Chain A
């Protein structure tokens, strides 16, 4: 009997194996990626062979279904999909999840077909495998994504090596992917991690009176970039960074890193650029080691959100928060309302990260930067296609059209600089207590027209943001003193 079972199991596993092989061969044959004849082309040009233009847009979306940002997979695919449903006449594949993609998208007579959704895990190796699968196996010629810092650099390099491809970055925030890599076919319609903290140092030094600050940031390109933006800003206006601590991404026990930070009576404040699952863990370690939180003494990048109060209590109120593509919910304009309503019309619910991956109104996800970054990329694709009359046969013209776009978007206009990176408005906010004692996020200022060079602090010739760069120096910043205050959700311009 047991032998029979074993045989059945053997037979089953072999069948499964054969099915996989068949799927492998089938997948390759069905899609246009490469029949034996294509081998010559691949061998000849020394790179992969993304099919250029001709038969419309074959779109691949790079998300992250595993790793620290795995919860945002639904959000990012939703962002790109909303742009297609709103502006390209697409129909979503499901009313309760964005992961089923869309069909029927068309711009100026050119169809946009979603060929696949890549699943990253926050490592460069994995995202490269995913993009190669999308491009070389499924024949994608336009990519929207990726999501995270190191992935952005890897994909920008991949784009550089594959000039037939067009990449519209998703929400990956490392600085180098545009400033240093400079792939002519890689476009980013949002700010980088440094940009999102522009103006925060100015506000904390000149308004809150911080002179010294300790910085703790994830030890990878986004953490470095995010901290670099704050440090450049805070030091430019005369502040001093007394210590910098960089725990590795994915740390779960932060106590040894917290021990390296000065005590609360030794500095005026702390700046946190610890993301994903680490934000709460690091703050809890802080409470355990250094005593209760005093919100006024803390500032963080986009990962500071009202949700932290659930675990840390209302003491977190008073903390300042950097921007992240969108603005907090207290700012409502007709454009923003239309955008959120469009999301709610596209799906009944989607299980985005902000609702703990439980079904929630799509506008919850749409109001956050991950969704919005991919949305801006989708809008850019639609508008660029429109600008060239749907004709992608001349890729240079298509890329030029993308470079020249100024997108009129719900959270402010976005154009590109000479390195094809977004010039954006940054919304700074603060965690405050509302009437009912709940911690909410309130917009305090909008810093207009921030670009990634920080007035020359960062350039293609400077090192990448790292543990020691930038140094703490006073400089002139183009936006110092230009921040537009926001009172009760209304910009005072």
Chain B
């Protein structure tokens, strides 16, 4: 594929978006950058792993927040020195980063290997079980989780100022997005999509189906671990409640809001979630209709419901549908109307199949 083919409207728009995000710290308030956008990037990164597994591997995972948490806890245990909480190994921050990522990736490999023979609802249930067991492991084995969580977690000096954490999140997001998009065209990615579409045929062609699933899960775990590291640096602490069933579902909800079949949707969903969480209560008169901060979860629930009804492909599905409509209008205008519209899902589903580049 040559450069000209790559320069589609979509890539240009994404490049423009990244440029805006790079310049954002000099355009927006510190709070918007350091709180709203940093959190968006972190959650988006984690949600992108759910999308990656669902889109290319056909696996909807509820264990991604566990990976996110394992990395956070491991970093806290390794990096802290001389407090009352955790193992207090007192390692150099970057050694702790390596340790956290190694443990997370290993855990993802093991859990992925166990889950690799299941699909669909069974995979979902199994990863839910991972999430619940993971929560109780950290809640019960207080030596590695506190007691009561690991607090006072400091960022490495390199990421000291909050705005650098934002840039780290942005950089990782761009790399991960590009990486996931690239993988689907590699031999591994194509085989993975084959496994998603017809595992029996792939097995009979000689592909190791469980291994492909395991490796995809491991890769997703590795990326979720990176997001987990950013999160503890951003939040300064992590406790078992951070990876309980509530936040686990929130991450899935973020992926669903954005569109579980679209990588960009992960960040879009995270943005909407953080925006609603932070600013909904500031809307004038919104409390007069009973929407107070205590009703936040209800509002998110209604948003998810509305999105599921209006567009099962999430917000990105809405965007794509609007774009498709505009394109069709442009195409049909010179000629006579062909009468009726094509089923809108066709376009999207083709994209899901990974046939468009």
Contacts and interface: CB of A to CB of B under 8 A. Distances in A.
B276 A20 contact: yes
Interface string A6-32: 100110010001011101111111000
A39 B294 contact: no
Given A25-B32, A136-B30, A119 B280 contact: no
3 A-B pairs closest in CB distance? A34-B30, A28-B29, A65-B294
A13 B272 CA distance: 12
Given A24-B32, A35-B29, A154-B237, A125 B242 contact: yes
Nearest to B152: A157
A49 B31 CA distance: 9
A23 B282 contact: yes
A36 B28 contact: yes
A9 B7 CA distance: 33
A107 interface: no
A153 interface: yes
Interface in B130-182: 139, 142, 147-149, 151-152, 160-164
Contacts of B27: 36
Interface in B223-246: 235-239, 241-242
Interface stretch (B33-41, B89-97, B102-110): B33-41
Nearest to B36: A24
A70 B35 CA distance: 25
Contacts of A463: 84
B25 interface: yes
Contact of A248 (B139, B161, B277): B139
Contact of A20 (B34, B142, B152, B283): B283
Interface residues of A, number: 62
Contacts of A248: 139
B278 A133 contact: yes
For this complex, into which size category does the number of interface residues on chain B fall?
35 or more
Interface string A388-405: 000000000000000000
Given A42-B163, A221-B148, A49 B239 contact: no
9 contacts: A33-B31, A39-B25, A39-B30, A43-B163, A73-B294, A125-B235, A128-B237, A133-B278, A136-B34
B275 interface: yes
A30 B161 CA distance: 24
A210 B1 CA distance: 83
A133 B142 contact: no
B151 to A, nearest CB: 5
Nearest to A43: B161
A390 to B, nearest CB: 28
B292 interface: yes
A151 B241 CA distance: 12
A434 interface: no
Contact of B239 (A23, A48, A123): A123
Nearest to B309: A9
Interface string A105-125: 000000000000001000111
Given A19-B283, A65-B292, A133-B35, A154 B278 contact: no
Nearest to B34: A42
Contact of B310 (A13, A20, A123): A13
Contacts of B139: 219, 248
Interface of A: 6, 9-10, 13, 17, 19-21, 23-29, 33-36, 38-39, 42-44, 46-49, 65-66, 70, 73, 119, 123-125, 128-129, 132-133, 136-137, 149-150, 153-154, 157-158, 160-161, 174, 176, 180, 219-221, 224, 248, 463-464, 466-467
Given A20-B280, A43-B161, A154 B151 contact: yes
Given A6-B310, A137-B35, A221-B147, 19 more contacts: A9-B306, A9-B310, A23-B280, A24-B36, A26-B282, A38-B29, A39-B25, A42-B34, A42-B161, A66-B296, A73-B294, A119-B293, A119-B296, A125-B235, A125-B247, A136-B31, A157-B237, A176-B84, A464-B147
A466 B146 CA distance: 10
Interface string B17-30: 00000000111111
Nearest to B29: A28
Given A20-B280, A73-B294, A180-B84, A29 B162 contact: no
Contacts of A220: 148
B318 interface: yes
A123 B241 contact: yes
B160 A123 contact: no
Given A65-B294, A128-B237, A153-B151, A13 B306 contact: yes
Nearest to B33: A39
